[in-house]
Structure 1
């Protein structure tokens, strides 16, 4: 019975070590990504728009908790902007490049 208590303790100890290790790796990854995202603040608004982001998106990603993946915030923002652009209909009807023929070709021959 003593062996089962010891193995249960070692199992919970391993789970704790795995959790601490995984959380540490995620924290280091998030800090690296945060550093890379800070480089986006150097871009002007036109360049950010070219990649589907706004300055507010970048600032919002940097304001997230250190435990939260900031690059996922930017991916969701870019997807949201992309969907919004597709949903907006053109301001005026688009004229066709090739003119439409309104009368039959045989009728004019």
Structure 2
């Protein structure tokens, strides 16, 4: 037995309601993320450094618009220092040690 697409009931505006529900869920998740990032703001500098963040990373994440997920900003911040360190290490000139000559 096969079902045709016509037998599935559709309601007018159901896509709009679905989009509205998804928007509400996304906003609720953003608020939850914001609350968790505010908890990170209570950490001291050493604790933030242990997880690869700085105070300015947390502050900038909380400065994002209210509907954005601040945890996504922090994920990008955690990956940044390792890449920056690799680049500076590759471009750092080697120290020149003068040779001592025997006279």
- TM-score bucket (shorter structure): 0.7 to 0.9
Name the structure with the higher helix share.
1
Gaps of 5+ in 1: 1-6, 94-109
CA deviation profile, 1:40-76 (whole Å, cap 9, x unmatched): 1111112111111111110111111121111100000
Report deviation, 1:88.
2.7
User: Whose radius of gyration is greater, 1 or 2?
Assistant: 1
- Stretches of structure 2 lacking an aligned partner (at least 5 in a row): 1-8, 96-103
- Alignment of 1:32 with 2:14, yes or no, is no
Task: Check conservation: 1:52, 1:82, Cα contact below 8 A.
Answer: no
Q: What is aligned with 2:58?
A: 58
Q: Number of matched residues?
A: 85
Instruction: List, as ranges, runs of 4+ consecutive aligned residues in structure 1 with deviation greater than 3 Å.
Output: 90-93
With normalisation by structure 2, the TM-score equals: 0.72
